[in-house]
Structure 1
Amino acid sequence: MTDTPLAPELKSQRFRRQREAEWRRLEALVDKAEKRSLARLSDAEILEIPVLYRSTLSALSVARETSLDQGLIDYLETLSARAYFFVYGSRASLAGRIATFFRRDWPRSVRALWRETLVAVALMGLGALIAGGLVWAEPDWFHAFVPESLAGERGPASSTESLRATLDGTGDGEGLSAFAAMLFTHNAQVALLAFALGFALGLPSAMLILYNGAVLGAFVAVFVSRGLGVELGGWLAIHGVTELFAVALAGAAGLRIGWTMAFPGARHRVDALAESGRTAALAMVGVVVMLFVAGLLEGFGRQLIADTALRYAVAGFTGVVWLGYFYAPRRTTSS
């Protein structure tokens, strides 16, 4: 018995079954964009539209060449025309994109990293406790954690009065500013490296965060041993709340990439890394903003505000602002 060609209706049905899921997905994304504006789409959905659009055009070309039913061809032509305007039409303005980043993308990426952020904060605290305890028991441990270029003359051998002068501004103002700038530069470098080295299974990121906490703990131990713990807390917190939070978020971004590299789950490793990379990258753009804010607080707030209680008040206010901005409940919209 010889095979008979498939009827046009059967060919059209099989063709539709093989590709209809992609067409429906593209139609759903276009409907969402038309009804709620392109800003309502996530970054992943925006990147998905061009891929589905090209696939639909290919299907339309095949449908025309093989003379499939006209209803299917009309549907594909209409869908392709609608998607065309989102692929090649005008994009959102730069101001609108920036507003979307601050209003939605950055807070969402930080909330997505909440587990890794807790781990980073715990690592930083652990490093501070270990180093602080060792320096408290044996002051010479200070030099094992704090490089000479960062410590300067602020260490176990410094007098109580010279340490106090670095906090209340009665000492060398130029030297104080240089020390604060070095501390800021150190934290910024740790933040960027913790993110950049996340691909190595997150281990370098974890070690950097742990070390950054150790540096902080060593300094705290020296000042506390001289009865200056409260004053040091105010001096650090006025800009440190923002600065250390930024370091923790950078570490969290690195840990997310490292964890995904090691454990991609059911997804293909490349796809899992692409998704994690987008989340981590958005968070890191925000980390740069936070470091800039911390620099302003360090450069102006710390030097203009000498009262310890007021320093704590400013630090508490910045902490509430950041926590509210990132983690306060938001009204959600249906997808």
Structure 2
Amino acid sequence: MMSAERFEAERAADWGELDAALRQAREKPERLGADGVRRLGVLYRAAAADLAFARRRFPGDPLLGRLEPLVLRGRAAVYGRTGRRQSVWQFMKRGYWVRLAERPWLVLAAWALLMGPALLGFVWGLVDSPTAAGLMPAEFQGAADPPVEGRDFDADEASAFSAQVMFNNIQVTLLAFAGGITYGLVTVYALVFNGLILGVIAGLAIGAGNGIAFLRLVSSHGPLEISCIVVGGIAGLRMGWALIRPGVLRRATSLRREALPAVEMAIGTVPYLVLCGVLEGFATGPELPVWFQAGLGFALAIAFWTLVYVRGSRATSRAGRSRRASPAAGRAALR
């Protein structure tokens, strides 16, 4: 027959892990990440079952006085409503980057779906420009001819162009995001299609000797703009994968679980799309040196993905290390 001491010895590691997770949720909840939140729920439900068992088998044992407060704290964290919500500034400062870093393999998949076709389109535009240009959609035909070197933009034209590009980029990114509801098929199409068009345009422009003009057209905003489209793809693939591989959950439940993080990523990307529109309207003309335009564009993209690593990946890694170390808390959580 199991004694209270043996029961506590067997379950203390999980109780200690729950205690550590609850402390982290109270002090720095953003470090838990999606996996940490799910693990917290699992630990709480297991502790609640342990409490019910202990009440039946060990009534009046001091163990109950230590386990009951832990379960109450867990219930408040899992089911209670918190009065402190993450502010917009806190989300943009850290939460957004954590969301992007939660699924590293989706980041790689989105980049591959965009840049793989872009590379093929670039080669196609170089080696078979008549066919590549002829098969491009009509709305992109003019884009194959970069602007004439030295052309000036007046303020009204630049402002209108900036607004047009801003809304177009938001539309492309949100299409990649919303396509997740189609099991990710529309997301994949949006990434592949836009990557192919980008590559073909680059191949046609460079093949025609207009490489410098092409750089003026895209380099100041293009790297960050591509990053934003990739983020929309990550959000869409996240929802699509939830439908394809729901695990033990129903597909509707799995989708709801991933929809909020995906929406947060899409909304959090809008300010960077606005920045891309401003740069495309005001930093693509001949007034600025092309080396400055290219340097500005790549610096912004590098800064963006550096933040994903520094504020996202590191926070996710710290949460993982904390979960692995927390069983060592064991008995200390209850004594």
Matched, 1:198 2:180: yes
Q: Distance in 1 between matches of 2:160 and 2:200?
A: 19
Q: Partner letter of residue 95 of structure 2?
A: F
Tell me what 1:210 maps to: 192
Instruction: Please say if residues 110 and 191 of structure 2, whose CA atoms lie closer than 8 Å, have aligned partners that are also in contact.
Output: no
Instruction: Please say if residues 107 and 325 of structure 1, whose CA atoms lie closer than 8 Å, have aligned partners that are also in contact.
Output: no
Q: 1:115 aligns with which of 81, 85, 108?
A: 108
Q: 2:171 aligns with which of 189, 198, 203?
A: 189
Tell me how far 1:229 sits from its aligned partner: 1.9
Tell me how far 1:47 sits from its aligned partner: 5.8
**How many residues were matched structurally?**
313
Change in CA separation of 1:223 and 1:174 when aligned onto 2, cut-off 3 Å: farther
Tell me what 1:146 maps to: 137
Higher radius of gyration, 1 or 2: 1
SS of 2:288's partner is coil
Tell me what 1:237 maps to: 219
Instruction: Please say if residues 132 and 214 of structure 1, whose CA atoms lie closer than 8 Å, have aligned partners that are also in contact.
Output: no
Change in CA separation of 1:132 and 1:187 when aligned onto 2, cut-off 3 Å: farther
Tell me how far 1:131 sits from its aligned partner: 6.1
Q: Distance in 1 between matches of 2:102 and 2:287?
A: 33
Tell me how far 1:237 sits from its aligned partner: 1.2
Tell me what 1:99 maps to: 93
Instruction: Please say if residues 181 and 239 of structure 2, whose CA atoms lie closer than 8 Å, have aligned partners that are also in contact.
Output: yes
Tell me what 2:332 maps to: none
Q: TM-score, normalised by structure 1?
A: 0.70
Report the more deviating stretch, 318-327 or 49-58.
49-58
Instruction: Please say if residues 162 and 280 of structure 2, whose CA atoms lie closer than 8 Å, have aligned partners that are also in contact.
Output: yes
Instruction: Please say if residues 12 and 69 of structure 1, whose CA atoms lie closer than 8 Å, have aligned partners that are also in contact.
Output: no
Q: Distance in 1 between matches of 2:167 and 2:204?
A: 21
Matched, 1:30 2:22: yes
Tell me how far 1:241 sits from its aligned partner: 0.9
Tell me how far 1:297 sits from its aligned partner: 2.0
Instruction: Please say if residues 191 and 246 of structure 1, whose CA atoms lie closer than 8 Å, have aligned partners that are also in contact.
Output: yes
Change in CA separation of 1:155 and 1:237 when aligned onto 2, cut-off 3 Å: closer
Matches within 5 A, 1:320-331: 320-327=302-309, 330=314
Residues 47-66 of structure 1: CA deviation (Å, up to 9, x unaligned): 66567657756765776588
Tell me what 1:71 maps to: 62
Tell me how far 1:101 sits from its aligned partner: 1.2
SS of 1:238's partner is coil
Instruction: Please say if residues 120 and 248 of structure 1, whose CA atoms lie closer than 8 Å, have aligned partners that are also in contact.
Output: no
SS of 1:295's partner is helix
Q: Distance in 2 between matches of 1:201 and 1:85?
A: 35
Q: 1:132 aligns with which of 113, 125, 128?
A: 125
Tell me how far 1:215 sits from its aligned partner: 3.0
Residues 212-233 of structure 1: CA deviation (Å, up to 9, x unaligned): 1333344445544553221211
Gaps spanning 5+ residues in structure 1: where?
Answer: 1-8
Tell me how far 1:116 sits from its aligned partner: 0.9
Tell me how far 1:299 sits from its aligned partner: 3.5
Tell me how far 1:262 sits from its aligned partner: 3.6
Q: RMSD across aligned C-alpha pairs, in angstroms?
A: 4.4
Tell me what 1:295 maps to: 277
Q: Distance in 2 between matches of 1:186 and 1:96?
A: 28
Between the aligned residues of both structures, percent identity stands at 24
Change in CA separation of 1:198 and 1:88 when aligned onto 2, cut-off 3 Å: closer
Tell me how far 1:244 sits from its aligned partner: 1.3
